[in-house]
Structure 1
Amino acid sequence: MPNSDSNDSLSNDSTPHSTSAIAAQPSYIVLPRESELAGKSYATVFEFLVDHFKQIEASVWQQRINDGKVHWQHGELIDATSEYQATARVYYYREVKAETKVPFYEQILHQDSDIIIVYKPHFLPVTPGGNFVNECLVHRLRIATQIDTVAPAHRLDKDTAGVMLMTLNPQTRHAYHQLFLDDKITKDYQAIAKVTPDLLAQLADNTCELPLHWTVKNRIVAANPSFTMQVVEGEANSHSEISLVAVKDGLGLFELSPITGKTHQLRVHMLSLGMPILNDRFYPVLQPKGPDNYDKPLQLLAKRLRFSDPLSGIEHDVECQGLDLLAMMLSMK
């Protein structure tokens, strides 16, 4: 499967549930054309791989090649002298020295010949990346279903749990991708956050009442570091509808509908309201990189997915169990 190549790593992280791992499915990279190389040139594929993946030592690529873990699209092995071929696909197997086992499990909510609708738990990435090669939703579902063409139809952050649409049939996959491009999918989320003191005061003296609603439209762009996002001045490129529906001991349960689909949109929009989502390690302040704290999952859930099947016409309306405001309140005492 195509992968975020810059995430290929040989991590030395060692947690109690970490083991070494080699990806069961290959990733690939398309060799750039000369016009895309910014003046560089490569005689061999090996030279390109070493230069492109700067975080991977040349000796590691040499060993992968020696072990037969690098090949062309049709399976022919690549060796250290294989010539660089622009636009050709090079397949390779990502590996990490320590892969953490995520102790939470997915649940299949619906399956037919074209799709799977599944619950994804917190902390489990959808596809390989970083220190995860096989501990991801796609690989788990391929094992569970014995279908090696399982692929996501949309994104869901590793830290976010909830309902996801996965495709099974490469011949019909485009029809489900098109649903998202045409805004024919309705996604409903829940979140828990600390309510601002001003809002709590207004609720206490009955100058406002639940539910409270916000329409949030602003411009979201990449921040620094680039995997985080920020709101800037300019024409809005993001839109969310957010409602506060319940409050207990200063914590609020929110219902959220993303009208657009920017990266981290709901997390950034909640921050813009002054109520960042509970246990968010990115917002408002990026926390130091470290092991996941399984006792403090991000309180954001993709609770419900609704759409008309583009092939069968069936009206799908699938949801999972919602966030528990009372349990979260008690866990913080």
Structure 2
Amino acid sequence: MGSSARGRQAEANALVPLPLRDGVAPSYLWLTETRAGGMLRFLCERFPDVPMQSWAARLERGEVVDAKGARVAFDTPVRQGMRIWYYRELDVPEVPIPFQEAVLFQDDHILVADKPHFLPTIPSGRFLRETLLVRLKRTHDLPHLVPIHRLDRETAGVVIFSHNPASRGAYQSMFQKRVVTKTYEAIAPLLQGRTLPFTYRSRMQDAAQFFLSEEVAGEPNSETLIELIEGRGLLARYRLHPHTGRKHQLRLHLASLGAPIVGDSFYPVARPCGSDDFSAPLQLLARAIAFDDPLTRQPRSFASRFDLRWPM
């Protein structure tokens, strides 16, 4: 990262007018137009799913501020170019995720975490504090913590975070350049009629249901090397090496081969959404990550301490 980029990043960090609150960083919104009616009316129209009483209470508590940290009132004018800061809140209590993450490594630049099944990497939807990012910010007092890559909520394993804005770009570029080696493990039905190892390729795209991916005809844009570790009856434990990083790539590839991963509620057919069955996690694990450190040029590798569970 060049000096000008570091300067912009430092300036942006210095301008955050609200502190972390129980590990939750404030969100911000740029106002793109001038509107009549005051800030309370604007917020209710901009976020129609949030009750007016909720926004009114936040404004009363001084939890909505402008870029200089000044409190925003009910009747504060809505002007184009303003930036307001606020804390995201959930309307219903979060269901606690009864599994604990672990920190595998930390230095002045990165933190490597071991994520359990069911725990989202970052806040979204119905998850806020019960996420890996917020848990780590809260327990390790790292306000600038950002994931360099992500895992599906249902997948366990190794996740790398940056907590130093000055060196973040160097680590992000590793994933952009695809110089990081990722190794996964999965338990799924034994593949019939295949000589392992072999490489599976397909063309993937977002499905009509936004949370799913699908395969379509055309030039392949996804590739996975599949190796057999061991077999037990009708099931097998596989080692998977994704050479690309499409959404749900490993899950879709194995399902397309007729071997959906044990515990997968999305592929080959998405089951109706419901409460999590914590006794039946998806048997997919991000086992290890390896790379040459972009700052020291030394090889680094990190392995998950979690294990997959064979069905009884």
Query: TM-score, normalized by length of structure 1?
Result: 0.80
Matched, 1:110 2:92: no
Partner secondary structure for residue 328 of structure 1:
coil
Unaligned runs of 5+ in 2: 1-20
The one-letter code sitting in structure 1 at the alignment partner of 2:55 is: W
CA distance in structure 2 between the partners assigned to 1:151 and 1:297 by the alignment: 26
Q: Distance in 2 between matches of 1:252 and 1:328?
A: 9
Structure 1 residues 86 and 316: CA distance shift in structure 2, 3 A: farther
2:112 and 2:159 in contact (8 A); partners too? yes
> Where does 1:207-286 land on structure 2 (aligned, <5 Å)?
212-286=196-270
Residue among 150, 154, 157 paired with 2:149: 154
Per the alignment, residue 183 of structure 1 pairs with: 178
User: Within 2, Cα distance between the matches of 1:49 and 1:220?
Assistant: 38
Cα drift, residue 74 of structure 1: 3.3
Q: CA deviation at 1:54?
A: 2.6
Q: 1:219 to 1:72 in 2, by over 3 A?
A: farther
SS in 1 for 2:54: helix
1:134 aligns with 2:129: yes
- Root-mean-square deviation (CA), in Å? 2.2
Distance in 1, Cα, partners of 2:143 & 2:76: 29
Matched, 1:79 2:73: yes
Cα distance in structure 2, aligned partners of 1:136 and 1:168: 17
The one-letter code matched in structure 2 to 1:99 is E
C-alpha separation in 2, matches of 1:251 and 1:107: 29
Checking the alignment, whether the CA contact within 8 Å between 1:23 and 1:93 is kept in structure 2 is no
Figure out how many residues of one structure are paired with residues of the other and give that number.
290
Q: How does 1:37-76 map to 2 (within 5 A)?
A: 42-43=35-36, 44-76=38-70
Deviations 1:106-149 (A, max 9, x none): 11111111011111111111111222221111122123322222
CA contact (8 A) 1:114 1:172 kept: yes
Distance 1:194 1:78, change over 3 A: same
Correspondence 1:93 to 2:75? no
Alignment partner of 1:277: what SS? coil
CA distance in 2, matches of 1:304, 1:216: 21
Partner of 1:297: 281
**Percent identity over the alignment?**
35
Asked if the contact 1:219–1:231 (Cα under 8 Å) also holds between the matched residues in 2, the reply is yes
1:328 is aligned to 2:301: no
